[in-house]
Amino acid sequence: MRTVKLPVHLAFIMDGNGRWATRRLRPRAFGHKAGVQNMFRICGHAFHLGVRIVTVFALSAENLSRPQEELDELFELFRTFFDKKKEKLLELGAKVHVIGDLAALPADVAACMRALEEETSHITERLLNICVNYGARQDVLQAVNRAVALGRFMDDTSFHGLLLTAGVPDPDLIIRTGNEMRLSNFLLYQAAYAELYFSSRMWPEFSRRDLEKALVDYSSRSRRFGGLRAKEQE
């Protein structure tokens, strides 16, 4: 692959599992299972190519309003991959950090997530953030409330320190699959200067080649963070 400039932090909105399954006349849970398998394939490839931080949107706070049957299926997937088949996550060789409000999840699911975080806490080379029951507005609001409670004015650096992503650099590239072009309450504060890439592929069919294509596209972009390119300043 001819990528020259990789994102340090790559984030995914893994959309389209349900539609992928429905088009195949299969239940939505079939799409979520395929989605998890693809998450391992794509995160593994991203780390293999040299990306250091990957963040995936596994369940939004708003997703909790889905029918209980679908939620139970998603919780069962979490149980499987954070506990019974945790080798799949461990094989990624990354520190796992679960970001979101785990209090609303079944207690055993939250417990196995925290246990896996503990088990991988010594790893420093790679980080995998898994957003579960996460909402960016909710995160900003809890940070504001903490700032108020502290009685302190915040600057950008200190505010970052109150977010659930504290200590993690902002995402450089956010890839959304599923042919939708929006951020859906994902990392809104942190995405201020993220490059966005939208793919019409449904998440289960987003391939390693598709990832490489997105990275080559990212590599060709000029990131100015509101400033000018060196040439333009002359």
Active site residues: 15, 63
Please identify, using beta-carbon distances, which residue of 7 and 178 lies nearer to ligand FPP. Answer: 178
Q: Distance (Å, rounded) from C-alpha 184 to C-alpha 202?
A: 16
Q: Which of 133, 46, 122, 60 is closest to 90 using CA atoms?
A: 122
Q: Distance (Å, rounded) from C-alpha 217 to C-alpha 2?
A: 11
Please identify, using beta-carbon distances, which residue of 108 and 224 lies nearer to ligand FPP. Answer: 108
**70, HSE (Cβ side, Cα atoms, 13 Å):** 13
Helix (H/G/I), strand (E/B), else coil: 192: coil
Question: What's the min distance (Å) between Cβ of 90 and ligand FPP?
Answer: 12
Q: Distance (Å, rounded) from C-alpha 170 to C-alpha 154?
A: 18
Beta strands 9-13 and 173-176 are parallel
User: Which residues of the chain form beta strands (DSSP E)?
Assistant: 9-13, 53-60, 95-99, 127-134, 173-176, 195-198
Question: What's the min distance (Å) between Cβ of 80 and ligand FPP?
Answer: 7
Which residue sits closest to ligand FPP, CB atoms considered?
18
Residues that bind ligand FPP (CB under 6 A): 14-19, 32, 35-36, 39, 58-59, 63, 77-78, 81, 130, 178
Question: What's the min distance (Å) between Cβ of 18 and ligand FPP?
Answer: 3
Question: What's the min distance (Å) between Cβ of 133 and ligand FPP?
Answer: 11
Please identify, using beta-carbon distances, which residue of 63 and 219 lies nearer to ligand FPP. Answer: 63
Please identify, using beta-carbon distances, which residue of 160 and 178 lies nearer to ligand FPP. Answer: 178
- Distance of alpha carbon 37 from the chain centroid: 15
CB 163 within 8 A of CB 137: no
Question: What's the min distance (Å) between Cβ of 196 and ligand FPP?
Answer: 17
Provide CB contacts within 8 A for 86, sequence distance 6+.
Answer: 112, 116, 119
